[in-house]
């Protein structure tokens, strides 16, 4: 019987707020008295995984648009521009929490 064994911590939260992601956990080799020792003391083939795929609620995609700029000309033909971006949010996330309060 070997006095060295793998000890795992609880899984961390998924790194994705929606869709697919990865979660991790701490895996340590412990010796007598449950002291942490170098991984070489434990059997490498029995080492538990420290990473796991995870999946949260599906993502919803939406356009986020800023206000239009002022026209570049005071008369005739001019240009206006604005920032437009596509953003993902969890399908379970309420719209009132997604936008900053007005």
Number of domains in the chain: 2
Let me know whether 32 and 49 are in one domain.
yes
Tens of pLDDT, residue by residue over 9-68, are 999 999 998 899 999 999 999 999 899 999 999 999 999 999 999 999 888 888 999 999
In terms of phi and psi (left: phi > 0; alpha: psi -120 to 50; beta: otherwise), the region of 46 is alpha
Let me know whether 18 and 42 are in one domain.
yes
pTM of the prediction?
A: 0.60
Let me know whether 72 and 86 are in one domain.
yes
Domain that holds residue 37: 5-55
Let me know whether 51 and 10 are in one domain.
yes
Distance CA 64, CA 87 (A): 7
Q: Which of 37, 55, 73 is the last residue of a domain?
A: 55
pLDDT of residue 23: 97
With a cut of 50, say whether residue 78 has pLDDT above it: yes
């Amino acid at each position: 019987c070997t006095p060295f064994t793998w000890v795992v911590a609880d899984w961390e939260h998924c790194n994705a707020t929606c869709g697919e992601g990865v979660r991790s956990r701490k895996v340590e080799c412990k010796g007598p008295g449950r002291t942490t020792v170098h991984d070489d003391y434990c059997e490498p083939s029995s080492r538990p995984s420290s990473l796991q795929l995870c999946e949260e609620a599906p993502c919803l995609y939406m356009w986020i648009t800023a206000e239009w700029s002022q026209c570049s000309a005071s008369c005739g033909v001019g240009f206006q521009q604005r920032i437009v971006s596509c953003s993902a949010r969890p399908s379970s996330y309420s719209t009132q929490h997604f936008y900053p309060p007005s």
